[in-house]
Amino acid sequence: MGAEDSLFHVAKLFQPLWSISLTYLISSVLVTFGIYLVARKLYLLSHQHSLLHPLVTATVCIGLVLHVLDLGVEEYKQSISLLDLLLGPATVALAVPLYHQLSTLRQLGFKALLPIVIGGTLAPILAWCSVYILDANTSLQMTILVKSITTPLAIGTAELIGGLPELSAVIVILTGIVGATFAPWLILLTKADSQYAQGLALGSVAHVVGTTKALSISETCGAFATLGLCINGVLTAFILPLLFS
Give the model confidence (pLDDT) of 193-238 as tens digits. 888 888 888 888 888 888 878 877 887 788 888 888 888 988 999 9
Are 161 and 198 found together in one domain?
yes
How far apart CA 26 and CA 149 sit, in angstroms, is: 30
pLDDT confidence tier of residue 182, bands split at 50, 70 and 90? confident
Which of left, alpha, beta for 151 (phi over 0: left; psi -120 to 50: alpha)?
A: alpha
Number of residues in the chain: 245
Average pLDDT, the chain: 82
Q: Computed over its alpha carbons, how large is the radius of gyration of the chain?
A: 19
239 pLDDT band, cuts 50/70/90, is very high
| Same domain for 208 and 147 | yes
Q: Looking at residue 1, what is its pLDDT?
A: 47
104 and 77 share one domain: no
Residue 34 pLDDT more than 90? yes
| pLDDT confidence band for 150 (50 / 70 / 90) | confident
The CA distance from 31 to 82, in Å, is 14
What would the mean pLDDT of 130-154 be, rounded to a whole number? 90
> Which 3 state secondary structure label does DSSP give 52?
helix
Q: Percentage of residues in the chain with pLDDT exceeding 70?
A: 87
pLDDT in tens, 74-113: 888 878 877 777 766 766 666 676 677 677 777 877 888 8
Confidence of residue 129 (pLDDT cuts 50, 70, 90): very high
Q: Which domain holds residue 138?
A: 95-244
CB-side exposure of 45: number of CA atoms within 13 Å? Answer: 6
Tell me the C-alpha distance between 242 and 145, whole Å. 13
- Whether 6 shows a pLDDT value over 60: the answer reads no
Query: What is the pLDDT, as a whole number, of residue 15?
Result: 57
| Same-domain check for residues 178 and 72 | no
As a whole number, mean pLDDT of residues 133-158 equals 90
Query: Are 153 and 105 within one domain?
Result: yes
**189/158 same-domain check:** yes
Based on the domain organization, do 68 and 105 belong to the same domain? no
Please choose, from the candidates 27, 29, 157, the residue with its C-alpha nearest in 3D space to the C-alpha of residue 81.
Answer: 29
41 vs 56, residue with greater confidence: 41
Q: Based on the fold, state whether residues 146 and 219 are members of the same structural domain.
A: yes
Could you give the number of structural domains in the chain? 2
CB atoms closer than 10 angstroms to residue 145 = 25
Q: Is residue 124 part of a domain?
A: yes
Q: Are residues 68 and 115 in the same domain?
A: no
Secondary element (H or E) of residue 20 = none
Flag whether pLDDT at 145 surpasses 90.
Answer: yes
Per-residue confidence (pLDDT) for residue 211, from 0 to 100: 82
Residue 57 lies in a domain: yes
Q: Which residues of 21-46 are buried (b: 16+ CB within 10 A; e: fewer)?
A: eeeebeebeebbeebbeebbebbeee
Look up the pTM and report it.
0.71
Helices (H) and strands (E) in the chain, counts: 13, 0
